[in-house]
Amino acid sequence: SSPGKMPPSAASAGAAAGSATSKTGQKRKRTSKKGASALTRETSFGGSMPAPELQACAKVLLALKRRHQKDVSWFLTPVSDKTIIQDYRAKIKHPMDIGKMTSKVENQSYKSLPDFCLDLRRIFSNCLCYNTGMKDSIRSVALELVERSEELMSFFFATLENDPYPRLLYCWKLCMEVLGTVFNLVNPTDKQPTALYFLHPVKVYCGGQFPPDYLEVIKKPMDFQTVTSNLLEGRYQSVSEFASDCKLIVQNCNTYYSGRDDGRLFVEQANRLGTVMNQQLEQLGRYDKSTKASADRARANTVSLTIPRPPVVTLLSVLEDLRALKYTDKGTKITEPAMGPFEKPVSLATYPDYFDHITEPMDLQTVERKVKSNFYSAPEDFEYDMILSFRNCEKYNSQRGGEHFVSMAKYAAKNFRRIFAAKMRALEDPTITIQPDLSSSQPEAQSSSSLPPSKKQKIEPSGTSKGKTAPRISITLSAAASTAAPRAKSPKPGQPTQKKPAAAPNTNQPVPLHIAIARVKEGFHLRRPVKSLQSWESDCAKFLKELLRHPWLSAARPKFIFHVPVTMLFPELREAYAVKIRKPMDLTTVECTLLAGNRYTSPEDLIEDIALTFSNAIRFNKDGRDIGDPLSCAYFDASVHLLRYARWLSLELLSAYIDDSDHVDEGGADGLPPVSWKLTKGNKVKAHEEQKEIVFKEPLEKSLEGDRYTWHESECEKLLKSLRHQSDVKHMTYFIQPNYPTDYTIYISTPMDWEKVQKTLKKRQYDNFGQVVDDLRLIFKNALKYNARFKGTENVSGRAFAAAEYMSAKLENAVRKLMLSVSDRIERERIDHANAEREMDAEERAEEARIRAAWKKDPNNKDGSSPVPSAGDRGPDSGRNNIMGQRIRMARRSSVRREVTDFEVPFFDDDEGQHEKSFIDLIKMQKSMFEKQRQEVVRMRKTTSGVGSAAYSRLLQRSLAQKWLEEQIKQTESSKASDPGPAADKEASTNQGKEAHPQEEKNGTQQPSSILEELERADRGQIKISLKKSTKRKRAKKRPLPFDSE
């Protein structure tokens, strides 16, 4: 059994209370406490409303969401439109939605019925206050829902002993029409609404605060938003109160703005509003004093809504459809009845703390008894009990980590709402036909959390493994258990009814995993709480809990089943299992035996039973693995790895009970790990060596620099962060940055610090885990070597030595955890990939066998082959016959699996089949090529950066040279101006140069004579340039051959 149920005594009391309800189609009457169900507790829970009022509130929300689904969809969630959210929060001070109200009802947060009514009315009043335009279609929707919600509250609250909730003003619709007339009034000049500046409080138009002297002049601020809220939230109990507040809006405006230059426009608009509004209010006042108003006032205080009683046949059909549903767990691939956990009340022997969390239990058998006794007077009563059973399950298991039960509860609630809504629509509108639910008739329906399978199956990474799938296990209850209440045929008139004897339960039928675990636990009645265990028992419980957290053994979504005896899940294997296995064992039995006590005397006794669980699976699946059965191979490999992982984990977590012995347990044949082991120092050293062999030589899966880390790099980053915990700040201060003494390099040849390791990891320069660990160890090894001479002193070096000792020990602990987790994940990925390969091979073989069988059964293939039709026999109508008559040649070809990689190899072609290397060698070649390409990209980036820097420096030097040249020219010109003698000579020489070279002056080029003159003036010799003749020999001409001329 699982959560969401109640004791049988409460169930019978609830079913017996059905006789006190009213007949179909009649209105609800107030009932006394004597007629109430025993399930309905009159006491309040934690200061909240009594249970009957909470139930009535929940039913109002259920009815509103189901009966007005299209309109209510606007108000299910909070306002989240980014374009209006800021303006909405400024104007609406109390936002509310139906989703938030549902959560408050489930959490019992309402203290009184008026609080619930206020929140429900605020949903629609907020909408009307914000959407003030009369052309907004949402206003009509909100007004319609206000009326429907008031009818539903009056109907469901009528059965309560006290009816304290405040009613709306009997003529609230007429009051809203008055406000609508005012809102429709527009200015004659700018065609803007006249009430534009009176719709919201004054502070909304003044940046969120009232003017400095406004509250001194106006004692009671008023606006149309406040009037609408008071009207729809039930604060007005008379028409005079409504009219007084409407008139107060105009009075406040005249009082504050009269006589002020900046208020003339506001006063004019207020007077126009007052003229129209006074006319409307006078008509409303005359109506309030009429006899019609008295009749309407009396009618408003009565229940006007009539909800017919749901037919028993319809409710039973809902239960029948629900019980036919199947739920397939996405992780374990186990298929079971979706309503299995909700069928019977919860066993208090299995869940003793159930009533500490659940105050109102419910289950399907109790609901069925209520239905047959005609207990439900409204569909919402039935819907409330059904939703309650699923919500109880979700609430209880969410606190205990039962993800499987939570997923089942959500799946069941979703399908119930769908089925129930369809049945009710067909009942209310006979013209609607219900489409058959094909998913419920199939033996394995996908759960709501899983996606429908695609046409092309592709191995995708899921969870902690990449590209692996678990074998599918389908487990269903017996027919009697899956349909506990089959729909009975109605007897013919005059024919006596006969009771058929109940069918005996079939013990050979498999049961769901959670039911099997509960049955195993029921066999151990004297289980102790974990807090009362001895110290070694508590450590064993922690070890077992950590083992059950393994991704393959997680109780929420186990991939391989080791939790219960094999014969419970696979009854057909009972005889074969008994022949091979003499002493069965499972993890739930181990846990219950530990909690029961008087069985285990030491941790080694518990370890022996855990090892027996996995060794039994190895022994039983060995024969199936030898013949290549995919399921047997999967369980064999998983059992071998889990046996090895359990040994590693026990030697790590139970290190306090390890003997100082060098004894080492040897493994079995074929490389199998030891089927039992002792807690000795030698076994621990051997376990560490096995993990190092797997982890330190594993190449790191690298990503590009700047991209997200792969899981290999993430594990290295976790190792780095484990040294930077807040509690280790004072110890790590010496090793974070390279602040070395002046003589440090004399003693230390390879300095290393934490930041250097982090930068190297970010640059993706580490090739395996061993390099990262070695660099981290080198940090503290260097510190111990350099500061050893100051050991025990109080100076900086002495404290650094002590810190290095402390952090070195912490690093080794973190490395051991890293080796344990990484080695486990690497092995899991290898096994998962092998399992996926086997499954694909099995599917190919099955498809080939099917094709062969179909070919043999073909009547046209009597002699095993069919002749190919000749060209003359091919006519216009013989296309199909030609296709069927063609001879098919089948050849088995070993297909090369291509693993999903994060890079593409352009020359990879599956169709050629000419690769001489194996698939593994090909993948290694692809990875090496990708690594070379990645290194080339990094090298190219460095080269580009260097070329850019060189070009920039050259451009900078060129600009500096041009600047220096301009300065030299200016200095030359200034010197010429100060010395006219040489300047005149220079001018004469310049004129001669111009005459000698007129073309150069015209082109603007500099004359050689001026350059030589400048060089001579600076006491420098002339530059001699000589051109050296080339020594390259000329190629001899090719002699024509004698026959070229021919």
Buried-state track 302-337, b at ≥16 Cβ within 10 A, e below 16: eeebebebbeeebbbebbebbbbbbbbbebbbbbbb
Q: Whole-angstrom Cα distance, residue 967 to residue 67?
A: 91
Q: Tell me: the pLDDT tens digits for 733-759?
A: 889 888 888 888 888 889 999 999 999
Buried-state track 842-860, b at ≥16 Cβ within 10 A, e below 16: eeeeeeeeeeeeeeeeeee
Structure token digits, residue 865: 């082959």
What was the pLDDT predicted at 878?
Answer: 43
Q: Whole-angstrom Cα distance, residue 685 to residue 216?
A: 84
What was the pLDDT predicted at 918?
Answer: 65
Strand order in the sheet with 473-474: 326-328, 334-337, 473-474
Q: Whole-angstrom Cα distance, residue 882 to residue 824?
A: 57
DSSP structure string for 101-140: HHHHHHTT---SHHHHHHHHHHHHHHHHHH---TT-HHHH
Can you say how many angstroms the Cα of residue 121 is from the centroid of all Cα atoms in its chain? 34
What was the pLDDT predicted at 863?
Answer: 53
Decide: 184 and 132 in contact? Cβ < 8 Å.
no
What was the pLDDT predicted at 1035?
Answer: 60
Q: Whole-angstrom Cα distance, residue 373 to residue 281?
A: 54
Q: Whole-angstrom Cα distance, residue 235 to residue 108?
A: 25
Which sign does the torsion angle of CA 759, 765, 768, 774 carry? negative
Q: Please return the burial class of 713, using the count of CB atoms within 10 Å of its CB with bins 0-12, 13-18 and 19+.
A: buried
Instruction: Give the pLDDT means over successive 10-residue stretches in the chain (1046 positions).
Output: 34 30 37 34 53 87 85 87 87 91 88 89 91 83 90 84 77 90 86 88 85 87 92 90 92 87 85 89 89 85 82 91 89 84 87 86 92 90 91 87 86 91 79 47 36 36 38 35 36 40 50 83 80 87 91 82 86 85 90 85 91 92 86 90 92 90 83 87 91 89 86 91 85 87 87 92 91 92 90 88 92 92 92 88 88 80 48 43 43 46 44 52 81 88 90 90 89 77 52 48 48 55 61 57 46
Structure token digits, residue 960: 């500096």
Q: Whole-angstrom Cα distance, residue 574 to residue 579?
A: 9
What was the pLDDT predicted at 509?
Answer: 60
Residue 210 amino acid letter: F
What was the pLDDT predicted at 504?
Answer: 44
DSSP structure string for 604-666: HHHHHHHHHHHHHHHHHHHHHHHTT-HHHHHHHHHHHHHHHHHHHHHHHHTGGG-BS----PP
Structure token digits, residue 321: 């459809």
- In whole numbers, what is the pLDDT of the chain averaged over residues? 77
Q: Whole-angstrom Cα distance, residue 265 to residue 1004?
A: 76
